[in-house]
Amino acid sequence: MCPISDYPFESLFQHVSGYSLHYIDVGDSNGRPVLFLHGVPTWSFTFRKIIPLVAEAGYRVIAPDLPGFGLSRNKLPPEAFSLSWLTQLIAGFMDECRISKPVLVAHDWGGVIGLMLASSQTNLFSGLILCNSLLPLPGMKAPFLFKLWRSFARFSPVLPVGMIVNVACERSLTRKERRGYTYPFRMGQNKRAIRKMPRLIPFREGQQGYADVVKAWDGLSNYQKAVLTLFSDRDPITRGGERIIQERIPGARNQAHKVLKGGHFIQEDAPEEIANSILAFMRAQA
């Protein structure tokens, strides 16, 4: 059990390709699965207010910590820092944990990984719910604030995770909440993935992973599984990304998309609204 008072979940670990991933698995073990994937610089703690509401509705809820994040092992092999390694590891995690055709709820980087997987394995998920998350279109310009964040994460000698999340929320996090975000990243060596992950998003031809993104969008142009967007109105990095998803992915048509009030970390600003939308989506897909 993690010693964070508002993260009352049993810690589980799964070895995948020699790497240890931390995750939580709550709710009805026989219920339809819902897989949560967090972004950067957070961990599964970020969904702590949403997970119980979904689990109490009778679903099986699984939330891993990405490699180098949260309570997952932070000593990463050199090949870890690539889109292909990350997507393969999450696919392997789902296979090892017998998570069959879950609905994916993804924020930020979680959606990048989820969309890459969905494009190549059409039947891996039964549906996608994307929260302030977008796989960049080939040739898209990187938003200015994303470039600023990428440089800050790489070069800043101080990387206060709790404060970073707080700045990107509309509401002010409590001291306890900020400590919860910071808990796994107290030591500098535990922040290596945070510093490197923003540089894995390819925007230009020739960058590592660019060809994979081009291929992914080719696959997503024919993706028919239901895709729901839950974006916020005040996220300067992903704002407007929901329109790209809705226009380019067939499964996003005629869904109950919402734009919620909040910042980048919409799961902190509108957790109940997100939970209600997840449950409505699950009922609609039943």
With a pLDDT cut of 90, the percent of the chain lying above it is 86
Mean pLDDT for the stretch of residues 237-249: 95
What would the DSSP string read from start to end of 176-229? Answer: HHHHHHHGGG-SGGGGHHHHHGGGG---STTSTTHHHHHHHHHHHTT--SEEEE
Catalytic residue among 22, 38, 264, 269: 264
Is 38 a residue of the active site?
Answer: no
Separation CA 103–CA 111 (nearest Å)? 12
Q: What is the pLDDT of residue 1?
A: 58
Structure confidence by residue, pLDDT tens digits, 163-172? 999 999 999 9
Is 65 a residue of the active site?
Answer: no
Mean pLDDT for the stretch of residues 69-74: 89
Q: What is the pLDDT of residue 18?
A: 84
Domain 12-285, CATH number (from 3.40.50.1820, 3.40.50.1370, 3.10.20.740, 3.30.540.10): 3.40.50.1820
- Report phi then psi at 186, rounded to 5: -70, -30
Catalytic residue among 65, 108, 212, 269: 108
Mean pLDDT for the stretch of residues 226-251: 96
Residue with tokens 């005040």: 234
Is 235 a residue of the active site?
Answer: yes
Q: What is the pLDDT of residue 258?
A: 97
Separation CA 269–CA 172 (nearest Å)? 9
Structure confidence by residue, pLDDT tens digits, 75-98? 777 777 788 999 999 999 999 999
Catalytic residue among 25, 65, 235, 269: 235
With CA atoms as reference, report the closest residue to 181 among 278, 65, 275.
Answer: 65
